[in-house]
Amino acid sequence: MPDLTVLAGSIMIFLGFLLVAAGILRSMKDNKGTEPQSREKSIKGGGVILIGPVPVVFGTDKKYTILIMVLAIIIMLLALVFRL
């Protein structure tokens, strides 16, 4: 007899797949018969890769790059504080 947590986890994964499939089908139904929207969307963001103590910061916009840089410094300082 399987453990209750294994059974609950399996059911949740199955329900997750069903919800994703239902969302895709609903999206397809909502867009059926309509022309594609010509609105232009832009995505902005950035990231940090820590190579030892040296952060490598990249971003699509100057504002987000500076924000990510400040967050990287804060995270590095917090790591030092918790290490001591």
Residues 79 and 50 in one domain: yes
What is residue 61's predicted lDDT score, i.e. its pLDDT? 85
| pLDDT category of residue 14 using cuts at 50, 70 and 90 | very high
Does 50 reside within a domain?
Answer: yes
What is residue 84's predicted lDDT score, i.e. its pLDDT? 79
pLDDT per residue as tens digits for the range 24-69: 888 887 666 666 666 676 777 888 888 877 778 888 888 888 888 8
What is residue 36's predicted lDDT score, i.e. its pLDDT? 62
Residues 52 and 29 in one domain: no
Does 41 reside within a domain?
Answer: no
Three-class DSSP labels, the chain: CCCHHHHHHHHHHHHHHHHHHHHHHHHHHHHCCCCCCCCCCCCCCEEEEEECCEEEEEECCHHHHHHHHHHHHHHHHHHHHHHC
The half-sphere exposure of 21 on its side-chain side, counting CA atoms within 13 A, is 6
Domain assignment of residue 79, given as a range:
46-83
Does 11 reside within a domain?
Answer: yes
Ramachandran sector of residue 17 (left: φ over 0; alpha: ψ -120 to 50; beta: rest): alpha
What is residue 17's predicted lDDT score, i.e. its pLDDT? 94
Does 39 reside within a domain?
Answer: no
